[in-house]
Structure 1
Amino acid sequence: MGGKKTKLTDWPDNLKDVIDWFLRVGGKDKESLGDDKKFELPKAVNALGDYGEAKNVLESGSIAGNFGYVADGLRVFIGYNKSGSQELKGDGVGLSSHGGYASSYKDSAKWDGGSSNPTTYAHILLGSFPLLYYGLTHLLWRCTNGGWQNQILQGDGQGTDLSYFMNYMGYNISQLKSDVNGTQIATLLVTDSDSITDLKNFCNSASTMTYPDFLQKLHQKGTVAGSVMNAPLYKLYTDSHAYLTTNWKSHMLNDIPQTKAEIEATLTGYSEAVKALNPGSSQKLSTAYLTLLAKIKEAFIPDLPSPAPSAAASAVGGILGTAALGAGAALATNVGGITTTLKSLILIFK
């Protein structure tokens, strides 16, 4: 999994990192400042400057309010106390005993109000929304309609599909509660009891439901208001989409990205926007990243042989900004030697 990150300007590498970053910056974990007045992330976003209509989106106040709501939902998911010491209380997925759940960020990684490097904070914020949105909604789908309802977290990522998924999302399975099953995880993600009942009902109304169908249903059902990933997280995701696509035309995988900001953008279809925002960054990617990206690019060559399209391929195609199901399936079969960040983004849909 790699060593702990030493500061909050260190880019998240997987879903766990993103969640831990949200918890630390949002004042929800045990090492947080615990002072909501010091939460000034919207200012970091605004520091990116005036980019036409995107400025209005980012200054509307929706990011601040929705970030807080999502961070609190993630607090419930992991199992931190709401107030006081903010220690793990053991009713989320995180193991509360000694040697249990640990943040991806060192205790010394403190939120400084965004003053040290507002542009990096803003890029991390905007780049995290797609992974958080797709990762959590996929987990919810699997745990309500995708066959993981009765699976538990065991076996160091090898015991069940659920534990395998969580392992590839960056989690050390030994730090999670081994008796938590998929149905309980779904309940943690949908914090309102009426909403989880309604969610289960419409999932169970069909014998099978693909992930794209699930997303469509999720946003058709206004009664699923208590869901962490429904209205608040979806609003953050659409805000970042509006920002990154304003004044730039998306060109999927025209160039191999060179920075972590660019790779986040490339895998969600917004590479041109981030390149324009962050030219000359010194945060260069390794040769392994570049080699893998070359393989990804090859997967989109029109005459490349590929397996038959599937629901998983459809989901991959969706996050990559393409409707080519065959290309998505080819992508899923050409990712040998994948590194942690790209595992997180691609294996969500495996």
Structure 2
Amino acid sequence: MATAGKKLTECPSNLKEAIDWILRVTGKDGQDGSSQNGTQQLAGAVAGLLDGVQSSSPQLESKLSEIKKDLTTDGNNGIINALADGLKKFKEGIQTSGSSSNVYQALNNSSLTSKVPKAGEIFLGCVPLCFYGLSYLYWRCSEKGGGWYGLTFTDPTAPALKNFMVSMGFDTKQLKGERQGGTGQKVAEALQSFQELKSAVENEKSLTKFFSTIHSNFNEKLKEVSPPIVDTLKQHSLPAIFLCSSAYFKYKRTYGSTDSIPPPSTIRQMLYWLSGLLVSPNFSDLLKHIHSPFSDGPMPVAVSGSHEQQEKLSADDLAGHLITSCISSIQVLRSIQGRAVSDEPLLHNVYCNSEFSYSDYGSALFNALSDYTYALQFQLSFLYQQCSIGITNGGWYNCKFGNGVVANAKSHICPVKCTKGSGCRHGSNGCNHASECGQSGKLSPLQAFLTDNLRGFSLRPKSYIGSPSHLENHPPGAICHVNMGFNADHLRSSGKVIQIPPSDSFPKDCNASQSVRPRHLETSSGSICN
């Protein structure tokens, strides 16, 4: 059995890790060393966080009250247990038999609340990833849904399913091959223990309506039964727990006037904004607004990097790209800055962040989204490409960054001369690059780029005023139009090389929204994005 390495105090940053964390804490992963009371202690921790949540809606207050009763009186066999059972069946249905892929260490019968004091916060942060990630995956893979029913994890000619799974943190080597039933159909079957997904997809072919139906079916079911409603909650564990999570984060955040909170001005801030979009109050309105330009059906759009090649884009495609990007942006942040504070519940803190505002109107929210995804797509694509090129060809493949790494502000060429010669890009087999880059006299251009100190790449002054105006006013010759925004103390500890998620889906997903962005934005940015 493979030894899991991550501590349970380390917050997940993608869907795979969120599932692993929940299964490990609840003892559902089939591995040794789980706490026998993990589920009950987690339920108690979540109930404690919900105690302080207040709402102006009597209906919501009533639902939360019933859910808290379930958490406190039936912790071991209640709503969290039902969620964990569904996650267990999902993993068993998609991974190869005998594979042990939980990335987290065991509790070894320790008390969850003493070993993981912020377990409730970590759990509530995992919930939006599970709800949107699994709901979207089920809709795509169901026979009546979005076209992945017959796809496999391995077909290079139709990689949509594989790309999504990779962007969510799954290792394709641990997923079933085609002969083992590794198809979209089997993914949908693995998720059918979540009855709320199966019933919602029966009559809804639109992704946005599918999400809406999941919630409306849950609400209608609650009206049909009298308290206690334990069985109903367990039969609708995903929307029930998501209701808790969204109500909690809405209460924790401060939504003041959008005029009093400045918009994101750096790539780092835009990643935080996009990460928190999933739990913003009007995310559902944004999904509905996305459908308005598609009243006549899918529209042809240029494939990224090509003016001649086109593909059809539907409203559901765009909504799916948006959800994927929101989840992936958390992983990008984690890859670059790691854990700023030891044992920080990253997802919880992102979703509670009150330093960014989200419009009350779907149209305005979409305009902001278009603006930010333009900047993210351009600069993260550039960063991804630079970090894919070896130092002998001017790239940053094995360049160091992080707290304590010395930056090279003068040139984008790393001054370390590789001892292995042309073609070396891995920093191994005797290559000196990994040990010397970022040290005194061997300054790292990657560190300088991330901290906005690379000559010709960063802006002076460090400001961002939106795509149209900014493109007209950015300094001549500046390669990047938005500062990255990472200070040295934002970055993870030195000695590590950059690890952008191993899929290009994030820049592609960000690029998708440009296809239906307002015309004045499209005109001003088309020559760069495409």
Which category of TM-score, normalised to the shorter sequence, fits these structures?
0.5 to 0.7
Q: Distance in 1 between matches of 2:506 and 2:82?
A: 24
**In structure 1, which of residues 72, 77, 96 is the aligned counterpart of residue 85 of structure 2?**
72
- Shifted more, 32-41 versus 217-226: the winner is 217-226
In structure 2, the residue matched to 1:104 is 103
State TM-score, norm by structure 2: 0.45
Match of 1:149 in 2: 149
Tell me the CA shift for residue 4 of structure 1.
5.8
Counterpart of 2:278 in structure 1 is 268
Counterpart-to-counterpart distance in 2, 1:174 and 1:17: 16
1:45: Cα distance to partner?
A: 3.0
The match for 1:174 is 173
Structure with more contact order per residue of length (Cα contacts < 8 Å, sep ≥ 6): 1
Alpha-carbon shift at residue 151 of structure 1 (Å): 0.3
Letter aligned with residue 266 of structure 1: G
- Residue in 1 aligned with 2:159? 160
Spell out the pairing of 1:1-350 with structure 2 (5 A cutoff): 5-31=5-31, 33=33, 36-39=36-39, 40-46=41-47, 48=49, 51-53=52-54, 57=65, 59-62=68-71, 64=75, 65-79=78-92, 92-97=93-98, 100-107=99-106, 112-118=111-117, 120-144=118-142, 145-154=145-154, 160-179=159-178, 180-191=182-193, 196=198, 201-203=202-204, 209-221=205-217, 231-246=236-251, 248-250=253-255, 266-269=276-279, 310-314=315-319, 316=322, 323=362, 324-333=365-374, 334-335=376-377, 336=380, 337=383, 339-340=500-501
Distance 1:202 1:232 in 2: 21
Counterpart contact for 1:187–1:193, Cα < 8 Å:
no
Post-superposition shift, 1:30?
2.3
Task: Tell me by how many angstroms 1:245 deviates.
Answer: 1.9
Equivalent position amino acid for 2:168 in 1: M
1:233 shift after superposition: 1.0
Counterpart AA for 2:239: Y
Alignment RMSD (CA, Å): 4.6
Residue 87 (structure 1) aligns with = none
Residues 129 and 109 (structure 1 numbering): CA distance in 2 closer, same or farther, change over 3 Å?
Answer: farther
Q: Relative to 1, partners in 2 of residues 1:175 and 1:30: Cα closer, same or farther, differing over 3 Å?
A: same
CA contact (8 A) 1:22 1:71 kept: yes
> Given that residues 190 and 227 in structure 1 are in contact (C-alpha distance below 8 angstroms), is that contact kept between their aligned partners in structure 2?
no
User: 2:126 is paired with a residue of what secondary structure?
Assistant: helix
CA distance, structure 2, for counterparts of residue 175 and residue 70 of structure 1: 22
Which 10-residue stretch deviates more, 141-150 or 187-196?
187-196
Looking at structure 2, the residues matched to 229 and 331 of structure 1 have their Cα atoms a distance apart, in angstroms, of 38
Q: How many angstroms apart in 2 are the aligned matches of 1:67 and 1:344?
A: 31
Q: 1:107 and 1:158, CA in 2 relative to 1: closer, same or farther beyond 3 A?
A: farther
Counterpart amino acid of residue 208 in structure 2: P
What TM-score, normalized to structure 1? 0.65
Secondary structure of the 2:82 match is: helix
Q: Quick check: 1:143–1:182 contact (8 Å CA) kept in 2?
A: yes
Specify the code of the residue in structure 2 equivalent to 1:60.
Answer: K
Q: For each residue in 1:84-131, what CA deviation from the matched residue of structure 2 results, as whole angstroms up to 9, or x when unmatched?
A: xxxxxxxx111124xx3411214578763221342x212211111111
Cα deviation, 1:228-281, whole Å, max 9, x if unaligned, reads 99821111111111122226433688577999xx8797343469xxxxxxxxxx
Q: Percent of pairs identical after alignment?
A: 23
**Structure 1 residues 199 and 130 mapped into 2: Cα distance closer, same or farther (>3 Å)?**
closer
Q: Which amino acid aligns with 1:231?
A: H
Contact 2:196-2:214 at 8 Å conserved across structures? no
Provide closer, same or farther for how the CA distance between residues 46 and 163 of structure 1 changes in structure 2, counting only shifts above 3 A. Answer: same
How many residues end up aligned between the 2 structures? 288
- Distance between the aligned counterparts of 1:193 and 1:164, measured in 2? 26
Cα pair 1:9 1:121 within 8 Å, conserved: yes
Contact 1:26 1:68 (8 Å CA) reproduced: yes
Distance 2:147 2:192 in 1: 18
Shift of the 76–14 alpha-carbon distance from structure 1 to 2, 3 Å rule, reads: same
Report how far residue 46 of structure 1 moved.
4.8
Return the offset for 1:195. Answer: 7.9
* 1:5–1:104 CA contact under 8 A, matched in 2: yes
- Residue pair 1:189, 1:227 contacting (<8 A) in 2 also: no
CA distance in 2: counterparts of 1:177 and 1:224, whole angstroms:
36
Q: Contact 1:74–1:228 at 8 Å: present in 2 too? A: no
The gaps in structure 1 that reach 5 residues or longer are 80-91, 204-208, 272-307
State the Cα distance separating 1:147 from its structure 2 match: 0.7
Deviation string 1:266-303 (CA, Å, 9 cap, x unpaired) is 343469xxxxxxxxxxxxxxxxxxxxxxxxxxxxxxxx
Distance in 1 of aligned mates of 2:507 and 2:70: 32
CA–CA separation in structure 1 for the residues paired with 2:146 and 2:232: 18
Q: What are structure 2's unaligned runs of at least 5 residues? A: 56-60, 223-230, 282-312, 327-356, 385-499, 513-530
Higher CA-based Rg? 2
Give the superposition deviation at 1:71: 0.4
Letter in 1 for 2:240: K
Distance 1:242 1:171, change over 3 A: same
Shift of 1:38: 4.2
Residues 166, 243 of structure 1: CA spacing in aligned structure 2 closer, same or farther, 3 A cutoff? same
Shift of 1:340: 4.4
Give the secondary-structure state (helix, strand or coil) at the position aligned to 2:115: coil
